[in-house]
Each structure stands twice: as structure tokens, then as C-alpha cells.
């Protein structure tokens, strides 16, 4: 009797699999033959590893600011959309244009026939009402000083200054159009004009949606139902759900998991180059050590950015940051000179009055992306080599935005934290504007260099020529390299893993801008 | 009998009162109040005293501790635990469904574990120091020693990934009907079940071995009473009484001790909510969960006491 060993088992198994596969083809036809034509119907169930950082409860879980997944393109529309190459396109709007070359007044014309999930047509009243809310609650929209409905479909936006890249503001994930209502109730019903309407939510946990038949992109979406499950900080649980067939896809897996799944024939990995980085905000409130530029510079020189790329991103999937919000993939990105320099860091600390090193406050982080834990351990350990000592403490994603920023009213003594947050890919105008004094991520950076930075920003925003704007952006980044209002040590690509039968689901450098309209299930 | 029951009910209520006062003191008075716990050390250091005082006033923390304790106990009596510090949502709304879900999970485990542990414990004792006893005893030690997260991960790899028979992670919602949640949770139940059966079978086996070696069993055997009657009708009740209190304590500990399993399977229970509340420093949610857990311990102890009263006439004296 022949021995039944591992080799026999493998051969028998493979022969059996081949037989079953041929039986499948004979009975059902070739799957390849059916691949070309998109198919309607089916449910897409995915796990999100980088969900919304605002804590929701039963009262606000349907609101676009608090919904489980920050990808609000499922349920709502914005006036514009940012595509995979980070160019802007029209979405609910049919026309977006400045009224003159000062670029501070923009007229936005809506498409006709865009319906909300309640069957009512979207009008300029809804646009005005939505942006009245956004300008009070979303940092990017605060530059809007006036919003006026001009006609049924035309809305006029007046900005505090010219902004050549204003259409990108209209595409931000918070900038969705909701049915007009007062500021206290708008958005609470979860009604949008997106391809899917909300049927159920579980605060901070899941959202279930069904196809909206009145969607303005005719014939879309292709899926009947989408289920989103929050598995932040639980990558293994999400991947087990994928392996067991519960999930069709997992969004924002880390580089290690991506490498693991890349060699598995049952799954596809989709990559978004550039992806994400992390900003470490350095609070500059009275008494803060970060008021001294030399301490900030020392910190920037002390961090081993190459080690972060190597350890958190497996080398090839990461890139070194330049302490601006720009991603390495952005053509306007300027490399920060100097690299890691421990001796220089120590010298700067000594000049600042810390010859024996400095102990900083606790640095808070949250698992907004799976690699965050490894990332901030490298930051902590490498800074220690230059005599910069601090504790790191993990906080939950749920409610992190409120925790990190607090109500941040300096006059009341409410200070934001020495803390990180994830930063996504955006156009240079939005990215570089994040270092303004009025924004928490700059740690409320002030002074003549800041004023010069903002003057350059204002100049860029009224410069229609993209090449000239790029030169101004380079100057702005050089100021950041010298001033270090915040530190953005490194970033990495982002990945989604999906089953082979999920089609037409490319990833997006802005994870909140993925469109599921044309995704289908074979 | 009635006075014994009333005495135990009164003692349970008194215990609950002291527990509530202790939880309040531990979370709001020692070493600081809810605000001290909620704010980071850096924030406390940087915040102007007048702003701190204003925040304390907003949260009612400027009132004397006794007055706040009174308000807390009054609230507890009305099942009102106040609102969360960050989102100002009612704590009861946040805790109610996770509590139900954890009780559901624990209930399913107990209902399944008790008969299985009974069969194993009685069988092992009946064939004491024979091969069956050796197998059960070894299995019990293994089942009791292996951490639940290891068992959970093993079960997921086996029954969700290799053979996709059960869900690897719970996608049911917090407010789904009980049966929907239970249908989605065979692996979490199995994970806790293994340790539970091991613990309960061990206790029952010891009780049964003692009972079977006692004089009254010997006398019954000499009288020619059939072995199954000796085992089930005489030895088992005698073994169950001392096991009841341990079982009650175990059942109570189960509810508060399934945090790890809930996290491994993303089960929407009290464990997940507790971890979230602790990391967000939501003191009122922590108080509510701590009190709910304490109440469960007290209730299970009361039930065990009442059962012992019913089964053992000597305790009614």
C-alpha cells in the first residue's frame, strides 16, 4: 500500500481542485467570458480601517460629519470631485467659475435634476444652507464670507481673498450638499443625493446603504447595497473577515498586510501612491517649549525619517516628509535639505537652554492607520538619541478629533494637544493653507515668517498661472523647512485588498473620494 | 424561610448601595474628580485656574462631595447616570444595548456550559481515577489554562478561515434583535464556553468525588439502591450545593470578564464600550458599567443564596 504523505495529499488535492474547476466551467461557463460586461446587483461589504474620527451617538450617526466612514461620496454629493490624479471635476455642479480675475467671487451652477433621496430636487437654497453650516464647522470652508442663491440653480460664493484653487474646497468630504434646514438640524436625517441612501446606522460601528434609484448619474450605481464596518485598530479582525468571506474588501491595510496578500491569487491589492502622512502638531501656547524655534528645529533634525520609512512602510511603500502637508507625489513638493543630524539637534537644544536634553509633554497618537503604532515608536526612540524625551500615549480614534483639538479657545486657556493626526493627499492650495496661524495643525504658528508665508499663499491664490504658483509654493516650503511650525516626518502609500470578483474599484489617494458608483460584483 | 429570603434581599440592596457609593468615591473623589480624570496632565498644568473652576461648575463638580453622592445615588435609583462628558449623550443610551448584548453572550454560555459541565463532572467522578477521569481532568486543565484570545484566534482560523462555517467577526449591529446577535456569535460563545466548561466541570467533579466518598452514599449502596439513583438523586444534589456559590461568582465574573473575547470578535458588548470609555476617560460611562457589573455579581449571589436556601434546609435556620 503506498504511503499517504504530504506529497500525495497535495497531488490529490490539486487533482480534485482541477476536476471541480473544470466541472464549474462545464456547468456555469467560463467566468472570464462574463468578466467584460459590468453586472448590476449584489452587496458590497467592506471593512474600513481608517474611519471617521468624530465620535457619533444615536442622535447624529447619520450626519455627514459623524457617519462611520469619512467617505461621504456614498451618500452625498459635493459640487465638485477630486479624481484619482488629484485634478478636480464637476459633480453636482455643471459649472464653477470665478466672476472676475480677482478670483474671490465664484458662481456655481447646479446640474438640473439632481434629486435628494427624499425625491426633492437640489437647488441653490440647499447649497447656501449647506455652506452656511460648513463655514461654521469645517476649517476649509471658513474662507467663505458670503453665500447667496442667485437663481434656482446658481449660487454665488464670496471669499475673504482670491483663491485659484477654490473648486478643490468644494470637493472636500465635509462640503456635501444637504437639504436646506437650520444649523441645528441640517444633515441629521442622513438624506443626500449620492448613489446610496442610508437604511441603518450603528454609531461608530457600521452603516448600511441601498441603491438610490433616482441618482443623477443614470444607470448607476451598479451595486444594490453597500455595508461599511468600522474595524479601526483591528486589522487582523478585518482581514479574518475578508478571508472568511464576510467582507469583500478591506480599506487602508498597512504595507505588511498588502505584501502578504499580493502573493495570494484570491485577492487583488489596489495601491494609492502618495496616500497619507502624519502631522505632529507643536502647540505654541504660553509656556510651551515649542515657542522656541530652535527646539522645533532640533526635533526635526532628531527624527530618523528613513527608519520610519523602513520600519512602518517596509521601505518601498514609504517616503520622507518635508514638514509641509504636501505629499511626495505632488509636483510642487520640495525636498527638505539637511536630513537627520543628531549633533546639530543637540547644538540647537543647547542654544535654546537645554544642554542636557529636554523633556517634552506627552505625544498623543491614535490608530488612524494600522502602521501608526510602529511609526510613533520610531519617532519617540529616534528623538531620544538627541536628548529629546517624551512619553507617547495612544488614544482611541473614536472622538480623537475632539480630544486633539479641544475647543481650542486660547483666550479661555483651552489648548490643543501635542498630538498627531493623519493627513491626506490634497492640492497644494489646501495643503499649504493648513499651516496658517488660525489652524490647530500649525500649533497656531505666528510671527513675521508666518506673515510672509501667508502673504505668499495669498499671492499664489490669485496667480492663475500654475507654473508661477508652483514657484511660490516652493518658497513657502522653504519657510516651513526653516521655521518647522509642525513636523511631518514621513508618509506612505495606502492600500485596499479586495476579492477578485469585485471589479472596477480602483483606490484613490484621497480615501474619502473613492466613488463606488461603478463598482460591480462578478 | 420568608424572613431568611427577606434578610438576603435586604443585604443585597445594602451591598449595592455601598458599592454605588464606593464606585462614586473611586471615580470622582479619589484621587481627583471626573474633570481631573478626563483632562490630561499637560492640560491641567496649562489651564488657568479660573477656566478650570468654570468647567467644574459646568459639570456640577463644585458642589460638596456628599451632595454629589446624593445626586448620584438618586440618579442610579432612577437609572439615570447623567451624560457623557464629550458628546453630552445620555449614558443610559450608550450602555443599555451593550449590557443586553453581554448578558446575552454570558447567558448563552451559561445555558450551554452548565449541562455539559454537569455531564463531564459527574462522569469523571463516577469513574474516578479511571481513563475517563484522566481524560476529563487533563482536558479541564488544558481548557482552563489556555487564554481566551488564543482559543478565539484558533477557532477563527479553523472554523471561519480554513472552513468558513461561522463568521470570523461580528457584523451585526448593537441594537439588532437578540437572536440575530446570537446567530452571528457561535465562535465567541464557543471561545468562552471552553474555559467555562473546564472551570465548572472541575468544581462539580471535586464536589461529586467528595459526595460519592461520603458515608450516606456508602449506606445507600449497601441498601442496594441502583447506582444511577445514588448518583443523580442523592450524590448530585449534595455536590451541587457547595458548587452553587462558585458557579454564581463565575457567572457574574463572566459578564465583566468577556472583554477580550468581545474585542477579538468585535462583539458589540459591554467590554468594547468599557475599553472605549476608559480610553476616552468618560467617567460617567465607566461608573455605569462598573455599577452594572457589580449589580450582576450581587444578583447572581442572591440567586445562589436563594437556591441554597431551597436545596439545603439547614441554611433556613
Q: Do A202 and B175 touch (CB under 8 A)?
A: yes
Which pLDDT value is given to residue B312? 75
How would residue B68 be classed by pLDDT, with cut points 50, 70 and 90? confident
What separation in angstroms does the CA of A308 have from each of A327, A489, B85?
16, 8, 36
Q: Do B89 and A59 touch (CB under 8 A)?
A: yes
DSSP state of A121: B
A243: nearest CA partner in chain B: B161
Residue A354 belongs to a domain with what CATH number?
3.10.105.10
Q: Pick from A55, A231, A394: which is nearest to B266 by CB?
A: A231
Q: Do A243 and B171 touch (CB under 8 A)?
A: no
Mapping DSSP to helix (H, G, I), strand (E, B) and coil, where does residue A159 land? strand
Which pLDDT value is given to residue A5? 41
Of A405 and A108, the one with more pLDDT: A108
User: Which residues in chain B are contacts of A261 at CB distance < 8 A?
Assistant: none
Mapping DSSP to helix (H, G, I), strand (E, B) and coil, where does residue A19 land? helix
| Per-window interface: B 128-187 vs A, CB < 8 A | 156-157, 160-161, 164, 167-169, 171, 173-175
pLDDT digits (tens, 9 = 90+) for A6-56: 343 333 333 444 444 444 444 444 444 445 789 999 999 999 998 776 777
Indicate if A351 and A456 belong to the same structural domain: yes
Q: Do A202 and B268 touch (CB under 8 A)?
A: yes
Which pLDDT value is given to residue A417? 85
Q: Is residue A52 part of a domain?
A: no
Q: Do A55 and B87 touch (CB under 8 A)?
A: yes
B169: nearest CA partner in chain A: A241
CB-CB contact of A92 with A122 (8 Å): yes
Which pLDDT value is given to residue A367? 87
Residue A185 belongs to a domain with what CATH number?
3.90.76.10
Q: Do B46 and A231 touch (CB under 8 A)?
A: no
Q: Do B51 and A414 touch (CB under 8 A)?
A: yes
Q: Is residue A233 part of a domain?
A: no
Distance CA A276, CA A324 (A): 12
Q: Quick one: average pLDDT of B253-272?
A: 82
Which residues of A have a CB under 8 Å from any CB of B?
Answer: 45, 47, 55-59, 200, 202-206, 227, 229, 231, 234, 237-238, 240-241, 243-246, 285, 287, 361-362, 364, 394-396, 398-399, 402-403, 406, 412-415, 417-418
CB-CB contact of A94 with A110 (8 Å): yes
Which pLDDT value is given to residue A28? 41
**B2: Cα within 13 Å, side-chain hemisphere:** 0
Mapping DSSP to helix (H, G, I), strand (E, B) and coil, where does residue B77 land? helix
Q: Quick one: average pLDDT of B200-209?
A: 91
A394: nearest CA partner in chain B: B279
Indicate if A342 and A444 belong to the same structural domain: yes
Report percent pLDDT > 90 for chain A.
Answer: 74
Q: Do B169 and A200 touch (CB under 8 A)?
A: no
Contacts of A260 (CB under 8 A, 6+ apart): none
What separation in angstroms does the CA of B184 have from each of A209, A248, B83, B172, B265?
20, 18, 31, 7, 10
Domain count, chain A: 2
pLDDT digits (tens, 9 = 90+) for A427-481: 999 999 999 988 889 999 999 999 999 999 999 999 999 999 999 999 999 999 9
Distance CA A501, CA B317 (A): 72
Report percent pLDDT > 70 for chain A.
Answer: 91
- How many other C-beta atoms can be found within 10 angstroms of the C-beta atom of residue B186? 17
- Domain range for residue A320? 274-493
pLDDT digits (tens, 9 = 90+) for A416-429: 889 999 999 999 99
Which pLDDT value is given to residue A133? 96
Q: Quick one: average pLDDT of A369-398?
A: 93
Rounded to the nearest angstrom, the minimum Cα separation between B164 and chain A is 5
Of B53 and A223, the one with more pLDDT: A223
Does any CB of chain A come closer than 8 Å to the CB of residue B315? Answer: no
- Asked if the model's pLDDT at residue B292 lies above 50, the reply is yes
Q: Do A394 and B268 touch (CB under 8 A)?
A: no
Of A70 and A312, the one with more pLDDT: A312
CB-CB contact of A442 with A416 (8 Å): no
Q: Quick one: average pLDDT of A382-410?
A: 84
Block residue for cell numbers 460638596: B64
What separation in angstroms does the CA of B130 have from each of B119, B126, B137, B200, B212?
16, 9, 11, 20, 15
Indicate the range of A246-250, B72-76, B276-280 predicted with least confidence.
B276-280
Report percent pLDDT > 70 for chain B.
Answer: 90
DSSP state of B208: H
B266: nearest CA partner in chain A: A237
- Asked if the model's pLDDT at residue B21 lies above 90, the reply is no
Q: Is residue A209 part of a domain?
A: no
| Per-window interface: B 58-87 vs A, CB < 8 A | 84, 86-87
Most B CBs within 10 Å, among A240, A282, A366, A401, to test the B interface: A240
Distance in Å from the first CA to the final CA of chain B: 8
Distance CA A411, CA A445 (A): 16
Q: Quick one: average pLDDT of B275-297?
A: 83
Q: Do B280 and A55 touch (CB under 8 A)?
A: yes
Distance CA A102, CA A373 (A): 45
Where is the domain boundary, A119, A154, A189? A189
Of A82 and B31, the one with more pLDDT: A82
B97: nearest CA partner in chain A: A202
How would residue A144 be classed by pLDDT, with cut points 50, 70 and 90? very high
Q: Quick one: average pLDDT of A177-205?
A: 95
Which CATH superfamily hosts domain B91-316?
MetI-like (1.10.3720.10)
How would residue A140 be classed by pLDDT, with cut points 50, 70 and 90? confident
Q: Do A243 and B167 touch (CB under 8 A)?
A: no
A89: left (phi over 0), alpha (psi -120 to 50) or beta: beta
Q: Quick one: average pLDDT of A212-229?
A: 97
CB-CB contact of A243 with B161 (8 Å): yes
Which pLDDT value is given to residue A454? 96
- Asked if the model's pLDDT at residue B156 lies above 80, the reply is yes
Distance CA A447, CA B261 (A): 52
Most A CBs within 10 Å, among B39, B40, B55, to test the A interface: B40
* CA quadruple A251, A254, A257, A260: dihedral, nearest 10: 110
Which pLDDT value is given to residue A186? 97
Domain residue ranges of chain B, discontinuous segments joined by +: 91-316
Nearest to A67 by CA among A198, A234, A241: A198
Mapping DSSP to helix (H, G, I), strand (E, B) and coil, where does residue A81 land? strand
- Which residues pair with residue A279 across a beta bridge? A421
Q: Quick one: average pLDDT of A176-186?
A: 96
CB-count burial class (<10 Å; 0-12, 13-18, 19+) for B155: buried
Q: Do A240 and B171 touch (CB under 8 A)?
A: no
Which pLDDT value is given to residue A22? 44
Distance in Å from the first CA to the final CA of chain A: 45
Which pLDDT value is given to residue B308? 82
Mode of pairing for the β-strands spanning A249-253 and A43-48: parallel
Which pLDDT value is given to residue B46? 61
How would residue A150 be classed by pLDDT, with cut points 50, 70 and 90? very high
CB-CB contact of A73 with A89 (8 Å): no
Nearest to B207 by CA among B246, B233, B168: B246
B170: nearest CA partner in chain A: A241
Most A CBs within 10 Å, among B43, B264, B266, B282, to test the A interface: B266
How would residue B162 be classed by pLDDT, with cut points 50, 70 and 90? very high
Q: What's the distance, CA A445 to chain centroid?
A: 23
pLDDT digits (tens, 9 = 90+) for A94-137: 999 999 989 999 999 999 999 999 999 999 999 999 999 999 98
Which pLDDT value is given to residue B80? 85
Mapping DSSP to helix (H, G, I), strand (E, B) and coil, where does residue A118 land? coil
CB-count burial class (<10 Å; 0-12, 13-18, 19+) for A327: buried
- Asked if the model's pLDDT at residue A85 lies above 60, the reply is yes
Indicate if A337 and A441 belong to the same structural domain: yes
Instruction: Spell A254-273 as b/e; 16+ CB within 10 A means b.
Output: bbbbbeebeeeeebbbbbbb
Of B143 and A144, the one with more pLDDT: A144
Q: Do A58 and B266 touch (CB under 8 A)?
A: no
Q: Do A413 and B46 touch (CB under 8 A)?
A: yes
Mapping DSSP to helix (H, G, I), strand (E, B) and coil, where does residue B108 land? helix
User: Which residues in chain A are contacts of B37 at CB distance < 8 A?
Assistant: none
Indicate if A300 and A176 belong to the same structural domain: no
Nearest to A441 by CA among A278, A291, A213: A278
Distance CA A161, CA A197 (A): 36
Which pLDDT value is given to residue A29? 41
Indicate if A306 and A449 belong to the same structural domain: yes
Q: Quick one: average pLDDT of A213-218?
A: 96
Rounded to the nearest angstrom, the minimum Cα separation between B59 and chain A is 16
Does any CB of chain A come closer than 8 Å to the CB of residue B48? Answer: yes
Segments in chain B forming alpha helices (H): 2-24, 34-38, 41-46, 49-58, 65-77, 91-126, 131-145, 148-156, 178-183, 186-212, 215-222, 227-229, 236-256, 259-265, 270-280, 283-311
The DSSP code sequence of B139-200 is HHHHHHHS-HHHHHHHHHIIIIIIS--S-SS--S-TTS-HHHHHHT-HHHHHHHHHHHHHHH
User: Which residues in chain A are contacts of B94 at CB distance < 8 A?
Assistant: 57
Q: Is residue A96 part of a domain?
A: yes
Which pLDDT value is given to residue A10? 37
B176: nearest CA partner in chain A: A202
Rounded to the nearest angstrom, the minimum Cα separation between A364 and chain B is 10
pLDDT digits (tens, 9 = 90+) for A33-45: 445 789 999 999 9
User: To the nearest whole number, what is the mean pLDDT of chain B?
Assistant: 85
Rounded to the nearest angstrom, the minimum Cα separation between A244 and chain B is 5
Q: Is residue A248 part of a domain?
A: no
Amino acid at each position: 500500500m503506498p504511503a499517504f504523505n504530504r506529497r500525495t495529499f497535495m497531488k490529490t488535492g490539486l487533482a480534485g481542485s482541477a476536476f471541480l474547476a473544470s466541472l464549474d466551467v462545464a456547468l456555469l461557463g467560463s467566468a472570464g467570458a462574463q468578466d467584460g460586461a459590468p453586472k448590476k446587483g449584489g452587496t458590497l461589504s467592506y471593512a474600513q480601517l481608517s474611519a471617521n474620527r468624530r465620535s457619533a451617538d444615536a442622535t447624529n450617526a447619520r450626519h455627514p460629519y459623524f457617519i462611520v466612514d469619512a467617505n461621504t461620496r456614498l451618500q452625498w454629493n459635493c459640487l465638485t470631485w477630486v479624481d484619482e490624479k488629484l485634478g478636480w471635476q464637476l459633480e453636482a455642479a455643471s459649472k464653477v467659475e470665478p466672476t472676475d480675475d480677482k478670483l474671490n467671487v465664484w458662481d456655481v451652477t447646479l446640474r438640473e435634476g439632481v434629486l435628494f433621496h427624499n425625491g426633492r430636487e437640489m437647488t441653490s437654497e440647499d447649497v447656501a444652507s449647506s455652506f452656511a453650516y460648513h463655514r461654521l464647522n469645517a476649517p476649509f470652508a471658513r474662507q467663505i464670507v458670503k453665500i447667496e442663491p442667485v437663481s434656482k440653480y446658481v449660487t454665488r460664493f464670496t471669499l475673504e481673498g482670491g483663491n485659484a484653487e477654490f473648486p478643490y474646497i468644494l470637493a472636500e468630504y465635509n462640503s456635501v450638499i444637504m437639504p436646506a434646514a437650520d444649523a441645528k438640524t441640517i444633515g441629521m436625517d442622513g438624506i443626500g443625493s449620492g448613489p446610496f441612501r442610508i437604511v441603518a446606522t450603528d454609531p461608530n460601528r457600521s452603516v448600511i446603504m441601498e441603491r438610490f434609484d433616482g441618482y443623477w448619474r443614470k444607470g448607476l450605481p451598479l451595486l444594490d447595497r453597500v455595508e461599511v464596518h468600522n474595524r479601526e485598530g483591528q486589522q487582523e479582525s478585518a482581514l479574518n473577515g475578508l478571508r472568511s468571506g464576510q467582507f469583500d474588501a478591506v480599506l487602508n491595510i498597512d504595507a505588511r498586510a498588502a505584501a502578504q496578500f499580493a502573493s495570494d491569487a484570491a485577492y487583488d491589492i489596489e495601491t494609492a501612491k502618495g496616500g497619507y502622512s502624519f502631522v505632529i502638531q507643536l502647540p505654541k501656547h504660553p509656556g510651551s517649549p515649542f515657542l522656541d524655534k530652535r527646539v522645533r528645529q532640533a526635533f526635526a533634525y532628531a527624527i530618523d525619517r528613513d527608519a520610519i520609512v523602513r520600519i512602518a512602510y517596509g521601505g518601498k511603500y514609504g517616503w520622507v516628509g518635508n514638514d509641509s502637508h504636501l505629499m511626495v507625489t505632488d509636483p510642487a513638493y520640495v525636498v527638505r535639505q539637511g536630513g537627520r543630524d543628531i549633533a546639530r539637534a543637540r547644538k540647537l537644544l543647547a542654544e535654546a537652554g537645554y544642554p542636557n536634553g529636554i523633556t517634552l509633554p506627552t505625544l498623543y497618537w491614535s490608530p488612524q492607520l494600522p502602521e501608526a503604532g510602529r511609526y510613533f515608536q520610531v519617532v519617540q526612540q529616534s528623538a531620544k538619541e538627541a536628548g529629546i524625551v517624551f512619553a507617547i500615549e495612544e488614544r482611541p480614534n473614536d472622538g480623537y478629533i475632539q480630544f486633539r483639538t479641544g475647543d481650542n479657545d486660547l483666550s479661555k486657556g483651552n489648548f490643543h494637544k501635542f498630538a498627531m493626526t493623519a493627513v491626506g493627499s490634497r492640492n497644494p492650495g489646501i495643503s499649504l493653507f493648513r499651516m496658517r496661524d488660525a489652524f490647530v495643525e500649525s500649533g497656531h504658528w505666528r510671527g513675521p515668517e508666518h506673515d510672509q508665508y501667508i502673504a505668499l499663499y495669498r499671492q499664489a491664490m490669485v496667480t492663475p498661472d500654475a507654473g508661477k504658483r508652483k514657484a511660490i509654493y516652493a518658497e513657502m516650503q522653504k519657510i516651513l523647512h526653516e521655521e518647522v511650525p509642525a513636523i511631518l516626518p514621513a508618509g506612505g502609500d495606502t492600500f485596499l485588498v479586495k476579492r477578485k470578483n469585485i471589479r472596477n474599484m480602483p483606490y484613490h489617494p484621497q480615501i474619502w473620494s473613492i466613488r463606488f458608483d461603478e463598482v460591480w460584483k462578478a | 424561610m420568608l424572613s431568611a429570603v427577606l434578610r438576603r434581599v435586604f443585604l443585597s440592596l445594602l451591598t449595592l448601595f455601598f458599592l454605588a457609593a464606593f464606585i462614586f468615591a473611586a471615580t470622582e473623589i479619589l484621587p481627583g474628580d471626573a474633570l481631573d480624570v478626563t483632562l490630561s496632565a499637560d492640560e491641567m498644568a496649562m489651564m488657568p485656574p479660573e477656566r478650570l473652576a468654570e468647567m467644574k461648575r459646568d459639570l456640577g463638580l463644585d458642589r460638596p462631595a456628599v451632595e454629589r453622592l446624593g445626586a448620584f445615588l438618586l440618579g442610579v435609583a432612577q437609572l439615570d447616570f447623567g451624560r457623557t462628558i464629550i458628546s453630552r449623550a445620555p449614558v443610559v443610551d450608550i450602555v443599555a444595548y451593550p449590557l443586553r448584548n453581554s448578558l446575552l453572550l454570558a447567558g448563552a454560555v451559561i445555558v450551554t456550559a452548565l449541562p455539559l459541565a454537569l455531564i463531564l463532572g459527574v462522569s469523571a467522578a463516577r469513574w474516578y481515577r479511571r481513563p475517563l477521569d484522566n481524560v476529563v481532568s487533563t482536558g479541564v486543565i488544558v481548557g482552563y489554562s489556555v487564554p481566551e484570545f488564543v482559543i478565539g484566534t484558533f477557532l477563527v482560523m479553523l472554523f471561519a478561515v480554513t472552513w468558513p462555517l461561522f463568521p470570523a467577526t461580528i457584523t451585526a449591529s448593537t441594537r439588532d434583535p437578540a437572536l440575530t446577535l446570537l446567530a452571528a456569535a457561535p465562535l465567541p460563545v464557543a471561545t468562552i464556553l471552553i474555559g467555562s466548561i473546564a472551570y465548572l466541570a472541575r468544581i462539580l467533579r471535586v464536589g461529586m468525588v467528595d459526595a460519592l466518598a461520603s458515608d450516606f452514599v456508602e449506606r445507600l449502596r449497601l441498601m442496594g439502591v441502583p447506582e444511577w439513583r445514588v448518583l443523580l438523586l442523592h450524590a448530585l444534589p449534595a455536590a451541587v450545593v457547595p458548587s452553587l456559590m462558585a458557579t454564581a461568582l463565575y457567572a457574574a465574573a463572566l459578564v465583566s470578564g468577556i472583554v477580550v473575547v468581545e474585542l477579538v470578535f468585535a462583539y458589540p458588548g459591554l467590554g468594547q464600550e468599557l475599553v472605549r470609555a476608559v480610553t476616552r476617560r468618560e467617567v460617567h460611562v465607566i461608573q455605569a458599567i462598573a455599577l452594572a457589573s457589580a449589580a450582576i455579581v450581587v444578583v447572581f449571589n442572591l440567586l445562589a443564596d436563594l437556591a441554597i436556601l431551597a436545596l439545603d434546609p439547614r441554611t433556613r435556620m
